[in-house]
Amino acid sequence: MVFGSKFELVESKGGDSLQLVPIGIIHSPYREPGEAPHQGRFSEQLAELEVYPQFAAGLKDIEQVTHLFVLYWCHRASRDVLQTPTPRGPEIRGVFACRSPARPNPIAVCVAELKEVKGNVLVVRGVDALDGSPLLDLKPYSAEIDSVPGARIGWWRKEEE
């Protein structure tokens, strides 16, 4: 069963295909790339995650969740970038070693605090997505499961010193 419209269909070298179907759309205060924070988690701005009606049944018990992994498509990002400077310095980094939205598959993830549930609309704090970004998935965040003590980005520390 297919819900909604196809986002993109790509055939790989192995003959397999990949289909992404957005489950909703993000309504945020960020209209242009320069307006979005580098890390939404540190923003106080609220955003709305509108889950399409055909996926609303998947929201059962969501009000019991305090934080969510929000996976979304950076629909205005460049897809032909493999190396880029970061906000932390002029050094060029590989996109798989940083969090740049510009990458071959501009899938982004952030952890957002769930503030309110209004039917099929979730009001959240901490999203860094541009307004109109396709919502790909939601998963509950758990400090017990998802937090990895001691995890780090080595080059990040070097730039701080």
Length of the chain as a residue count: 161
Asked, for residue 81, whether it belongs to a domain, the answer is yes
Distance, CA of 155 to CA of 85 (rounded, Å) = 12
- Domain assignment of residue 4, yes or no: no
In a domain, 14, yes or no: no
User: Which whole number is the average pLDDT over 57-62?
Assistant: 98
Quick check: helix, strand or coil at residue 154?
helix
Q: Which domain holds residue 118?
A: 24-143
Residue 130 falls within a domain, yes or no?
yes
Distance CA 47, CA 22 (A): 17
**What pLDDT does residue 147 have?**
86
Whether 16 is in a domain gets the answer no
| DSSP letter (8 states) at residue 101 | S
Residue 154 placed within a domain: no
What secondary structure letter does DSSP report for 87? Answer: T
Stretch among 5-9, 113-117, 123-127 having the lowest mean pLDDT: 5-9
Report the domain count for the chain: 1
Q: What percent of the chain has pLDDT over 90?
A: 52
Q: What CATH code is carried by the domain that includes residue 36? A: 2.40.30.70
Domain membership flag for residue 156: no
Higher per-residue pLDDT: 122 or 7:
122
Please provide residue 113's backbone torsions phi and psi, each rounded to the nearest 5 degrees.
-85, 125
Tens-digit pLDDT profile for residues 98-123:
888 888 999 999 999 999 999 999 99
Whole-model pTM: value is 0.84
Q: In terms of Cα–Cα distance, which of 92, 91, 70 is closest to 83?
A: 92
Which among 132, 114, 124, 123 has a CA at the least distance from the CA of 25? 132
- Under a CB-based contact definition with an 8 Å cutoff, are residues 80 and 124 in contact? no
Residue 12 included in any domain: no
